[in-house]
Amino acid sequence: MYSANEDYLLEILQEADLVTPAQIDDARGQRQPRETVVDSLVRVGHVKEVDAARVFSVNAGLEFVDLTRFTPPEEIVSLVSLEDAKRYRVVPVGFDQSRLQVAVSDPFDFETLDSLNHVLNYDVDAVCASPEQVADAITRWYGESIDSAAAADDMVVVSETSGDGGVGAGKAEAGDAPIIKLVGQILRESFKAGASDIHIEPLEKSVRVRYRIDGMLHEVGNHPRNLLSAVIARIKIMTGAMSIAEKRMPQDARIQLKLGEKDVDLRVSTVPTNHGESVVMRILDKSALKLGLPQLGFLSDDQTTFERLITLPDGILLVTGPTGSGKTTTLYACLNYINKPDRKIITVEDPVEYQMSGINQVMVKEEVGMTFAAALRSILRQAPNIIMIGEIRDLETASIAINASLTGHLVFSTLHTNDAPSAVARLADIGVKRFLIASAVRAIMAQRLVRKLCDECKTPGELTERELRALGIDAAQLAESSVSAPVGCVRCRATGYKGRAGIFEIFEIDDEVRHMVNENLSTPQLRRQARELGMRTMREDGIRKVLNGMTSAKEVLHVTMADSD
């Protein structure tokens, strides 16, 4: 069915000598309910649909494509969701640089053509195909197992129960099926896109869906405002622990999914806003548990240093950085590296984000008195070799951790500081004595995450004069470098970046540094002394990764502060 005026379409067909006035009259006489004359012409055989679509596309100024003769690669098909393909009757047929080429079934639907750029989040070039071919392409390219309502869904909620007394919580009714499909599609597509979290946000007139991919938010959909309550209710039911009747207070829970062969955990948080409840679902990808140290972004020399530090017999190793800088992933990679049958490892976490085989994990529950400090006091009686504390937040927790390290335990934990030397002042501010910091802490590592250049499309590049000055790179360094620049392709969603890696600042506490800590040096003084002793800053580590083509200067400048002398 075409959106243009029917008389106009019939005039185009006659001018192209595809039909005669008599055939048009015959088609009018045989027209069925809700059928246009053009549809009737095709059904009774007076004109082929592909021929009609071809002349319509020429008249609309669009190139015509025959979808029966090719199938695009899967990565191109994945750029348009099944829901959007069906809703707008379009299919993706090509991708070049940052431009997505789609085949539309109605070349006269100018409103849809104008909105595709926003809907698909790409610069869109439209071509035309026949409606029959577009429908057939959707079936062939997306597969019946996804398309049909009775299809075997590859996503299973591991434990779905009703909310805690919420009105309407329980088994879904038949009328809820579209909402169940919508939520399922959002979850499947986010995981396929490699998102770290999903944001479902109520706006004044719509519901916005965004994915955070490699640290950057991407808008992937806008839905009618009236779907908000049903979507949030569905998510709450999936958690099995949220009340769908409670909309005035924040709630937190978890969803465990089996997506094909993958086990996926989601941490769900709701908060009331002025336009309704906002939902954020953080995707906990268990593949992070299997990361080795090279996958974190360590270069060979830093990796050697870090491997030595995490295999020390005792002491505290701190990982610092803001929220979202990858501290937890680094700690889990450490535990994975040192997890051996002859070592007992216990963690205290709030909450337990990943379940690791062979490790005893304790979750903090402050409402029942299970604080970090209380848990630590108990687990020390379990005779562990290695302890991981999710975060040192107060003096009591810090004191127990230090005492544990001084009595032969290796302790891993995190702090929120901007750089490694600042952790000393942070512990002192909490109330820890300087001599205890000097005695217990073996090393402090600060880190940030930078986006990695996409291996599929990155190209040799050059640094601007501004970037050279800002990073302090000289001609000798450039001569031996392999600087790369982002381009954009299907694999990286036209961003030029795919995945993230850490940049690190490793501050070892040796005898000389212990003396400086005891001397109560200020953080700037401690940082200068640490650099003189060989500490490489995060920016300097980032520069090395710019010069070897791992990331871009823009990324490093964005996440690091200038190094003070």
Report the pLDDT value the prediction gives residue 162, as an integer from 0 to 100: 43
Instruction: State the Rg of the chain over Cα.
Output: 30
Q: What is the pLDDT of residue 489?
A: 82
Half-sphere exposure of 7 (CA within 13 A, CB side): 0
**pLDDT tens by residue, 464-507:** 999 999 999 888 888 888 999 999 887 787 889 999 999 999 99
Q: State pLDDT tens for residues 517-530.
A: 998 889 999 999 89
Note the pLDDT of residue 173: 46
- Residues paired with 90 in a beta bridge: 104
pLDDT of residue 312: 94
Work out the pLDDT band at 170, boundaries 50, 70, 90.
very low
SS3 206: strand
Q: Is the pLDDT of residue 323 over 90?
A: no
Residue whose token pair is 């083509």: 549
Task: Give the model's pLDDT for residue 228.
Answer: 92
Whether residue 206 is predicted with pLDDT greater than 50 in this model: the reply is yes
More reliable by pLDDT, 209 or 260: 209
pLDDT of residue 1: 65
- Asked if the model's pLDDT at residue 150 lies above 70, the reply is no
The two tokens of residue 161 are 């129960």
The rounded distance, in Å, linking the Cα atoms of 38 and 13 is 9
244 with 237: CB under 8 angstroms?
Answer: yes
Q: What is the pLDDT of residues 243-274, one digit of tens each?
A: 999 999 999 998 988 876 677 889 999 999 99
Predicted local distance difference test score (pLDDT) of residue 252: 92
Confidence of residue 176 (pLDDT cuts 50, 70, 90): low
What is the amino acid identity at position 1? M
| pLDDT tens-digit map of 23-74 | 999 988 888 877 889 888 988 889 998 899 999 999 889 999 988 877 788 8
**Cα separation, 384 vs 205, whole angstroms:** 55
- AA letter at 298: F
Structure tokens at 67: 């979808």
Task: Tell me what the pLDDT averaged over the chain comes to.
Answer: 86
pLDDT the model gives residue 222: 84
Query: What distance, in Å, lies between the first and last C-alpha atoms of the chain?
Result: 70
3-state secondary structure of 17: coil
Is 217 within 8 Å of 199 (Cβ atoms)? yes
Beta bridge partners of 256: 265
d(CA 112, CA 9): 19
Per-residue H/E/C for 49-73: HHHHHHHHHHHHCCCECCHHHCCCC
DSSP class per residue in 385-446: SEEEES---SHHHHHHHHHHHHTT-EEEEEE--SSSTHHHHHHHHHT--HHHHHHHEEEEEE
pLDDT for residue 169: 40
- How many other CB atoms sit within 10 Å of the CB of residue 242? 24
pLDDT, tens digit (0-9, with 9 covering 90-100), for 92-132 = 999 887 789 999 999 888 888 888 888 788 889 999 999 88
For CA atoms 40, 41, 46, 47, the dihedral sign is negative
174 pLDDT band (50/70/90 cuts)?
A: very low
Which pLDDT score, from 0 to 100, does residue 147 have?
39
The upper half-sphere exposure of residue 455, i.e. CA atoms within 13 Å in the direction of its Cβ, equals: 2
Task: Indicate whether 166 pLDDT > 60.
Answer: no
| Contact of 362 with 403, CB cutoff 8 Å | no
Mean pLDDT across the stretch 413-433?
Answer: 94
* 96/125 Cα distance (integer angstroms): 10
| Of 477, 446, 455, 470, residue with least CA distance to 555 | 470
- Flag whether pLDDT at 145 surpasses 60: no
Measuring CA to CA, how many Å separate 447 from each of 182, 355, 522? 37, 24, 21
Q: Residue 90 and residue 202: Cα distance in Å, rounded?
A: 27
pTM value? 0.73
**Distance in angstroms (rounded) separating the CA atoms of residues 403 and 424:** 17
**Which pLDDT belongs to residue 416?**
92
- Does the pLDDT of residue 230 top 70, yes or no? yes
Identify which of 480, 481, 335 has the alpha carbon closest to the alpha carbon of residue 413.
335
Using the structure block, give the residue that is written with the tokens 């940030």.
448
The alpha carbon of residue 238 and the mean position of all alpha carbons in its chain are separated, in whole angstroms, by 21
Q: Two tokens at 201?
A: 């946000």
Question: In the prediction, which pLDDT does 474 show?
Answer: 85
Tally: H helices and E strands in the chain: 24, 19
What secondary structure does DSSP assign to 106-139, as a single string? -TT-HHHHHHHHHHHTSEEEEEE--HHHHHHHHH
pLDDT band at 357 (very low <50, low <70, confident <90, very high): confident
